[in-house]
């Protein structure tokens, strides 16, 4: 009789131990997934900050470089495309990140052309509003790079956690899928050519 109580007690302890391990692993996956989601929001926030600065920058340049309308139009159109794309974090996959990255790349390219125009107009470069906006835009680009790096770090930790054995079994049972990284855009390995 005492042996059966001991066996039942050991079984209960083992079951409780397994349950606690499953619970802890699942909760850790949820926490890490939320960290990735939160960092993705930080990335989007910095991109939004850039989008918010662009109309002011375009309007400032417009007053000095009226005949550069084509470049201004490209910036406005690229901004419009970038604002139309909404990314659902739950459906974040490599294709979505690539599409998001491409749209932001188009906008970055248009902004680079806009900044190159400023070199042709000394009065524009001396304009205090333009200098302030340019500095804010440069700061925003740096923040975007930092937030993307942090996002990749969070993704790395999350992916490593859900892919390690035996947690990969729990991840598979509950639908925790690996998240994609931000990667450099095509051609980023080449230094940009600057012409004055």
User: In this predicted model, what pLDDT tens digit does every residue of 114-132 receive, in sequence order?
Assistant: 777 666 666 665 667 777 7
Residue 107: CB atoms within 10 A of its CB come to: 23
Domain ranges for the chain, please list them.
Answer: 1-174
User: In this predicted model, what pLDDT tens digit does every residue of 30-78 receive, in sequence order?
Assistant: 999 999 988 988 888 888 888 888 787 777 776 666 656 667 777 777 7
The yes-or-no verdict on residue 16 having pLDDT over 90 is: yes
**Residue 196's pLDDT band (boundaries 50, 70, 90)?**
very low
User: In this predicted model, what pLDDT tens digit does every residue of 74-120 receive, in sequence order?
Assistant: 777 777 777 777 777 777 778 888 888 888 888 887 777 777 766 66
What CATH number was assigned to the domain covering residues 1-174?
1.20.1440.20
The yes-or-no verdict on residue 186 having pLDDT over 70 is: no
- The predicted pLDDT at position 145 comes to 86
Q: What is the pTM of this model?
A: 0.69
Q: Which of 10-19, 113-122, 133-142 has the lowest mean pLDDT?
A: 113-122
């Amino acid at each position: 009789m005492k042996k059966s109580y001991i066996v039942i007690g050991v079984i209960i302890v083992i079951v409780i131990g397994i349950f606690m391990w499953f619970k802890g692993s699942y909760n850790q996956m949820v926490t890490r997934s939320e960290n990735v989601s939160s960092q993705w929001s930080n990335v989007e926030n910095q991109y939004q900050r850039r989008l918010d600065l662009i109309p002011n920058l375009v309007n400032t340049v417009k007053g000095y470089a009226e005949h550069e309308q084509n470049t201004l139009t490209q910036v406005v159109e690229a901004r419009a495309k970038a604002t139309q794309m909404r990314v659902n974090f739950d459906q974040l996959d490599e294709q979505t990140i690539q599409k998001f990255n491409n749209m932001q790349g188009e906008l970055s390219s248009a902004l680079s052309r806009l900044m190159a125009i400023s070199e042709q107009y000394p009065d524009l470069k001396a304009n205090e509003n333009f200098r302030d906006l340019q500095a804010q835009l440069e700061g925003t680009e740096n923040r975007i790079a930092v937030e993307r790096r942090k996002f990749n770090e969070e993704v790395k930790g999350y992916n490593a956690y859900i892919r390690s054995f035996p947690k990969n079994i729990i991840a598979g049972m509950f639908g925790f899928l690996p998240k994609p990284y931000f990667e450099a855009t095509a051609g980023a390995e080449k230094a940009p050519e600057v012409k004055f």
